[in-house]
Amino acid sequence: MGEKIHYRGSVRPEELHQLVRKWFKHATILALGECEVEYTGRASSKASGSWRLIIIKEDGTVLVHESVGREPINWQPNSHVTTQLEGDTLILRAVRSRPREELIIRLRGECEVLIAKLGSGKFVISGTEKDIIEFLANNPRIIDENAELVSKEVSTPHGRIDLVLRGKDNTLILVEVKRDLADVEAVFQLRRYVEYYARLGMSNVRGVIVAQSLTPAARKLLGDFGLDYRCIKVSGGNVYEKEVC
């Protein structure tokens, strides 16, 4: 067993209870077992008992995956994770305070568990516009240090917003992504999104353009409209985070 792997094996709920308490915040925990899942918060959902993969990351991100699809059926970012035992069931809670959300996972019977220390090196992905959106969705703090993902490709009467994030003080951050050069049309499009949300009664809204560069006219309009710009670097088909433009 490599030094990066802290535990691997089959465990009962009481053993998993101790493992989560020991390793949460210190390593990534993967558990495969039969579970029920319940979410309450800005919406609500329930998933009946089935075999699923549960991932608990060091930063408190919790994901629940099933047999198909790329996206988890439930997930909770940057949460406080606790566990408790009720008979042969382990109840795992992942709770966020702002906004108030709770993900409850009830694991029954034996689970397969892997606990490992994962790396966090420089992240590089393919450089299409869709890839950039996906990259930013997984790394929203490139846009704002307090940002968390709300949704991707949100439909409005004016088109689809690439990303909607939530920042400090419950600020809504609308993100328009361009792979290369952002021009005045991209700025006007972003302004339409911001104005649309303002008409819905949301006063605390920011707009951010993400691109490799701006035309001079676009840069001036951003300042005139009170919108922001974040620069990314695409080179050789790859996207690099936090490059200085």
Instruction: Parse the chain into domains and list their residue ranges.
Output: 5-116, 124-240
- Could you please state the CATH topology (level 3) that the domain comprising 124-240 is classified under: Trna Endonuclease; Chain: A, domain 1 (3.40.1350)
Residue type, 158: H
Positions of E strands within 60-211? 62-65, 74-76, 80-86, 89-96, 101-116, 124-126, 148-156, 159-166, 172-177, 181-182, 205-211
Average pLDDT per block of 10 residues along the chain, 245 residues long: 82 96 96 96 86 95 89 86 95 88 95 92 66 87 88 90 91 92 92 93 91 89 93 67 51
Instruction: Please tell me the distance from the alpha carbon of residue 82 to that of residue 155, in angstroms, as a whole number.
Output: 36
Tokens 């869709």, residue located: 130
Residue 123 is predicted with a pLDDT of 54
Same fold, 5-116 and 124-240: no
Residue 15 is predicted with a pLDDT of 96
Query: Residue 225 has which token pair?
Result: 């409209």
Record the pTM: 0.56
The CATH classification of domain 5-116, taken from the options 3.40.50.300, 2.70.180.20, 3.20.20.140, 3.30.499.10 = 2.70.180.20
Residue 1 is predicted with a pLDDT of 44
Instruction: Please tell me the distance from the alpha carbon of residue 17 to that of residue 31, in angstroms, as a whole number.
Output: 11
Do β-strands 181-182 and 213-214 pair in parallel, antiparallel, or remain unpaired? parallel
Residue 144 is predicted with a pLDDT of 86
Helices vs strands, H then E, count in the chain: 4, 18
Angle between helices 216-225 and 184-199 (to 10 degrees): 20
Residues 134, 94, 50: CA angle, nearest 5 degrees:
80
